[in-house]
Structure 1
Amino acid sequence: MNSRYIRQTSLKEFGPDGQAKLFEAKVLVVGLGGLGLPVLQYLNAMGVGTLGLMDQDVVELHNLQRQVLYSEKDLGRLKLDVVHKKLSAQNSKTIFTTHDTFLTKENAVEVIKEYDLVVDATDNFPTRYLINDACVILKKPFVYGALHGFEGHVSVFNYQNGPTYRCLYPEMPKAEEVPNCNENGVLGVIPGIIGTLQALEAVKVLTGVGEVLSGKLMIYNGLNQHVSKINFKANPTNKRITQLQDFYEAVDCDIVPSISAKTYQSLRESNKKFTLIDVRTAEEFNQNHLDEAVNIPLDNLDVFEHQIDSNKEIYIICQSGKRSELALKHLRTTHPNLTFYHILGGMNKMMTVCP
């Protein structure tokens, strides 16, 4: 058995002690889709002792483009059954606990309390907030991953008293503000990249090797292989959760001041003076941008904030709306007296409304 893991135990920074910690670990993976599969395949191959599998979906044809553990022969079968069988063949020493259910308010605390770490491999906001709140109550860390088109996000929450998911996203957005990959599409390879990064963060949390992405949101853009990191701080209020909410659904409120692409286009056609900040990378900006935009990439925001005209209303845009939302939250903290709005749907939406 020792020879099986020799390629990683021979690493001075990891060694037999790191392997022993993996053997003793219990990890719950919520979601057996594009993110959950690479997470499970690598954690299983690397020797994590106990893996919890949670999902109640069946394999569908449109899954095969990105959920590469499944084959055409698996269509119509429960994902849970397929994954359990294939992972058992990959590593017969792993203990698997199967949860033939979705994560709900009724089962979240009871299930999660049995594990050392949770990996969020879901694609919807209600479940993410549920995972967060249950992990805060139980003092368990969780590894977060999210997908949008050609982009992916990774972070680790509630780790060693670090920030929680609510410290980054205090309130649940409206469902239509940030669609999941089923509604907006995702390039097949992106979930594999992000899921593998989640697996790496899980290993670091479990073994103490390396620097964990706690208090940092990593943003990966597959179109230009650009990686940026956004720092965020813990809000002590978000660590005082003692019970789950009555329900976990999208709430009818704005998490940040925002306007639609159509409304912004009307603003462009008026005589009103304003500032538009494009927080995409220089490469993206050079490919296409609105004439009035000033390019201040998200990861350089602190350096170039002096370019912001404090005498005008300030609008922020990116490709899809995610980075502009993060930029707004940051700028609203550093410039509390200024007025900021972010454009929902970003350049993707603007291209549909521009004449």
Structure 2
Amino acid sequence: MNVINKCRTLSVFLVILLAFSQTVFADNKQTNEATVNKHIAEREIEEVDLSLLQKYMKDHSVLALIDARTAKEFNAGHISGAVNIPFNQLDDFYKRLPSEQSTSILVYCKSGRRAQKLVNLLMEKGYTDVKAIPGKQLNYQEDKVGFLNVD
């Protein structure tokens, strides 16, 4: 009887320990994600050369332009020629990406944060020439999005 009680006590202890460890690891994962998001938000996204943006406006084939915002935001207005691939749905929209992984790709969103996240994901998938356009280089109007200082 004494051994049975010890086994029950040990079993209860292990169940409690397992539940506690899952809570700790879940909290740690959320903390890590928050740290990454904060780092992306705080890091200055390097401006894209205006001449490249001007070339794109004249000829959309010079690079691939991806809008990392939601479908609702995209449908409300986007840059001409852009393809909508929400940053958190890359796997669902993978077929919209250029097949050649060396293709120049520019990614934008309103602030640059989602764009930078998508850039990181694309680089993990093997794309080599991917940059985010910082929000300060974009002009958002009621139903249009465009590049600032580009004719």
Tell me if TM exceeds 0.5. yes
Q: How far apart in 1 are the matches of 2:86 and 2:66?
A: 9
| TM-aligned CA deviation for residue 310 of structure 1 | 3.3
Cα-Cα RMSD: 3.1
Instruction: Select the residue among 310, 314, 324 that pairs with 2:115.
Output: 324
Contact 2:41/2:113 (8 A) holds in 1: no
Gaps of 5+ in 2: 1-24, 141-145
Gaps of 5+ in 1: 1-157, 178-257
Q: How far apart in 1 are the matches of 2:95 and 2:84?
A: 13
User: What's the CA shift string for 1:201-223, capped at 9, x where partnerless?
Assistant: xxxxxxxxxxxxxxxxxxxxxxx
Contact 1:261/1:343 (8 A) holds in 2: no
Q: Paired residues, what number?
A: 115
Do the aligned partners of residues 264 and 289 (structure 1) sit closer, same or farther apart at CA in structure 2, a change above 3 Å counting? farther
Tell me which protein shows more helix as a share of its residues. 2
Give 3-state SS (helix, strand or coil) of 1:348's partner. Answer: strand
Contact 2:104/2:130 (8 A) holds in 1: yes
Amino acid at match of 2:84: N
Give 3-state SS (helix, strand or coil) of 2:138's partner. Answer: helix
Which residue is 1:313 aligned to?
Answer: 104
Q: How far apart in 2 are the matches of 1:159 and 1:295?
A: 31
Contact 2:106/2:130 (8 A) holds in 1: yes
User: What's the CA shift string for 1:184-206, capped at 9, x where partnerless?
Assistant: xxxxxxxxxxxxxxxxxxxxxxx
Contact 1:275/1:313 (8 A) holds in 2: yes
Calculate percent identity across the aligned residue pairs.
25
| TM-aligned CA deviation for residue 299 of structure 1 | 3.0
User: What's the CA shift string for 1:239-273, capped at 9, x where partnerless?
Assistant: xxxxxxxxxxxxxxxxxxx4437354233256662
| TM-aligned CA deviation for residue 284 of structure 1 | 1.8
Give the structure-2-normalised TM-score: 0.59
Instruction: Select the residue among 53, 57, 79 that pairs with 1:290.
Output: 79
Larger RCO, structures 1/2 (Cα 8 Å, 6+ apart): 2
Q: Runs (4+) of structure 1 moved beyond 4 Å?
A: 165-168, 269-272
Q: Which has the larger radius of gyration?
A: 2
Contact 2:107/2:115 (8 A) holds in 1: yes
| TM-aligned CA deviation for residue 161 of structure 1 | 3.4
Do the aligned partners of residues 305 and 319 (structure 1) sit closer, same or farther apart at CA in structure 2, a change above 3 Å counting? same
2:148 is equivalent to residue 352 of structure 1:
yes
Q: How does 1:164-179 map to 2 (within 5 A)?
A: 164=32, 165-168=34-37, 169=39, 173-174=43-44, 177=45
User: What's the CA shift string for 1:2-39, capped at 9, x where partnerless?
Assistant: xxxxxxxxxxxxxxxxxxxxxxxxxxxxxxxxxxxxxx
Do the aligned partners of residues 348 and 167 (structure 1) sit closer, same or farther apart at CA in structure 2, a change above 3 Å counting? same
Give 3-state SS (helix, strand or coil) of 1:328's partner. Answer: helix
Amino acid at match of 1:302: D
Tell me which protein shows more strand as a share of its residues. 1
Give the structure-1-normalised TM-score: 0.28
Give 3-state SS (helix, strand or coil) of 2:73's partner. Answer: helix
